[in-house]
């Protein structure tokens, strides 16, 4: 056997290392709690959750990592470490468009980790309400999908809301065929949300052309129906399968594999500047030829990249439009300040929805 360790010795080594990791996690947590106390004393404006600091920690560790522990896993592991640490300072309550196990729920976990307190509500309006009334620290709502387009109801809510955009999450939308059945040949009915059905149309027509498909209010509800319907299948997320005890009969059945939904994180408080930020604004233009071009020209003249523009009919006046614009940069930057100052004098109204870390 020579000088090589046997399996038992390696396992003892791992146990010793795990003991050390546990000790260090507790030491780290004590420091986090002390920072939380100082924050509460000195700064009523700041949230305990600081995405900029989290990104800084993860980026530094990923640069330092020499392997073999995979770099991608550092982000996942530290999201949970930071989520658990934050929960020691007080509950981080997150309202989201429910029910549980939808892609919005997955986006929440991606942002805040498993230790946050999640509150599913019935509508986008309810998410805004929970955060506005202080019943939740944060809200998470969908804003656009790479195949379905923009979520207009979310845009409309910003017109009268005082909430700020605190962050964004890009969540890959990956649909699985889930069931209690052992084989897809045993499936007699399929349930899912209309969007998910549309996104898997080609796969369904090719593989299960004679199985009827029923529309239900959410992918999570589809999974729930399959708990008692042994010949039923749901098109839903992997998380839905785990929560409702369903098998994955076929993974990733979506027709377009590059399908992402962008979610916004809402808060009463602003997000800290990170150096890699974007700013969202809402504005209304005067109804005249070239008004929009004139309005947006200051962005170009100040060297600011505009990443998105969406229009919505104003509810206040016929043929008047409100524009939602995303730009690169933070409100605290001089070039952004100057551009917005110029624009303010050229439009009917301008509302800043917030500066927040850019998801990249």
166 in Cβ contact with 269 (< 8 Å): yes
Q: What is the pTM (predicted TM-score) of this model?
A: 0.81
Mean pLDDT (the chain, rounded): 87
Predicted confidence at residue 201, as pLDDT, reads 94
Residues annotated as catalytic (active site), given as ranges: 261, 263
Number of Cβ within a 10 Å radius of residue 332? 13
Neighbours of 315 (CB within 10 A): 11
Using CA atoms, how far apart are residues 159 and 312, in angstroms rounded to an integer? 10
Residue 351 CA to residue 354 CA, distance in Å, equals 9
Express each pLDDT in 282-318 by its tens digit: 988 766 667 777 778 888 889 899 988 888 877 666 5
More confident residue, 288 or 13: 13
Of 338, 332, 270, the residue nearest 298 (C-alpha): 338
According to the model, what pLDDT value does residue 180 have? Answer: 94
Please report, for residues 161, 166, 173, the alpha-carbon distance to residue 356 in angstroms, rounded to integers and kept in the order given.
17, 5, 23
Predicted local confidence at residue 348, as pLDDT: 81
Report whether pLDDT(12) > 60: yes
CA dihedral 233, 238, 242, 248 (to 10 degrees): 50
pLDDT of residue 223: 94
Domains and CATH numbers, the chain: 7-89 (1.20.59.10), 93-168 (3.40.190.10), 176-250 (3.40.190.10), 277-357 (3.30.70.260)
Q: Is the pLDDT of residue 2 over 50?
A: no
Q: What residues contact residue 220 under an 8 Å CB cut-off, 6+ apart?
A: 98, 99, 100, 101, 102, 105, 236, 240, 243
pLDDT at position 1: 45
**Helices and strands in the chain, H and E counts:** 12, 15
pLDDT of 203 over the 90 cut: yes
**240 C-beta neighbours (distance < 10 Å), count:** 28
**pLDDT tens profile 230-279:** 999 999 998 899 999 999 999 999 998 888 889 999 999 998 888 889 99
User: What confidence category does residue 44 fall into, taking pLDDT thresholds of 50, 70 and 90?
Assistant: low
């Amino acid at each position: 056997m020579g000088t090589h360790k046997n399996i038992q010795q390696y396992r003892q080594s791992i146990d010793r290392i795990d003991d050390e990791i546990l000790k260090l996690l507790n030491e780290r947590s004590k420091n986090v709690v002390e920072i939380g106390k100082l924050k509460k004393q000195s700064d009523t404006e700041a949230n305990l959750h600081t995405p900029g600091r989290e990104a800084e920690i993860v980026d530094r560790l990923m640069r330092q990592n020499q392997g073999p522990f995979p770099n991608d896993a550092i982000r996942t592991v530290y999201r949970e470490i930071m989520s658990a640490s934050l929960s020691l300072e007080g509950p981080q309550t997150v309202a989201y468009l429910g029910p549980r196990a939808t892609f919005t729920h997955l986006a929440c976990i991606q942002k805040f980790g498993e230790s946050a307190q999640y509150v599913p509500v019935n509508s986008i309006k309810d998410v805004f309400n929970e955060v506005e009334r202080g019943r939740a620290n944060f809200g998470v709502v969908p804003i656009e999908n790479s195949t379905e387009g923009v979520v207009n109801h979310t845009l409309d809510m910003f017109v009268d809301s005082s909430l700020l955009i605190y962050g964004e999450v890009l969540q890959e939308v990956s649909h699985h065929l889930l069931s209690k059945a052992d084989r897809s040949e045993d499936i007699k009915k399929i349930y899912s949300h209309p969007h998910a059905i549309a996104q898997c149309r080609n796969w369904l027509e090719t593989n299960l052309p004679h199985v009827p498909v029923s529309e239900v209010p959410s992918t999570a509800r589809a999974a729930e129906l399959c708990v008692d319907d042994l010949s039923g299948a749901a098109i839903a997320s992997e998380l839905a399968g785990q929560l409702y005890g369903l098998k994955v009969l076929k993974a990733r059945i979506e027709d377009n594999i590059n399908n992402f939904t962008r979610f916004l994180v809402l808060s009463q408080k602003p997000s800290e500047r990170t150096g890699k930020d974007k700013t969202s604004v809402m504005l209304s233009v005067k109804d005249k030829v070239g008004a929009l071009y004139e309005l947006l020209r200051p962005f170009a003249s100040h060297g600011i990249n505009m990443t998105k523009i969406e229009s919505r009919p104003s509810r206040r006046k016929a043929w008047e439009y409100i524009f939602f614009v995303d730009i690169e940069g933070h409100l605290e930057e001089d070039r952004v300040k100057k551009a917005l100052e110029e624009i303010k004098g050229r439009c009917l109204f301008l509302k800043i929805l917030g500066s927040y870390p850019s998801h990249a």
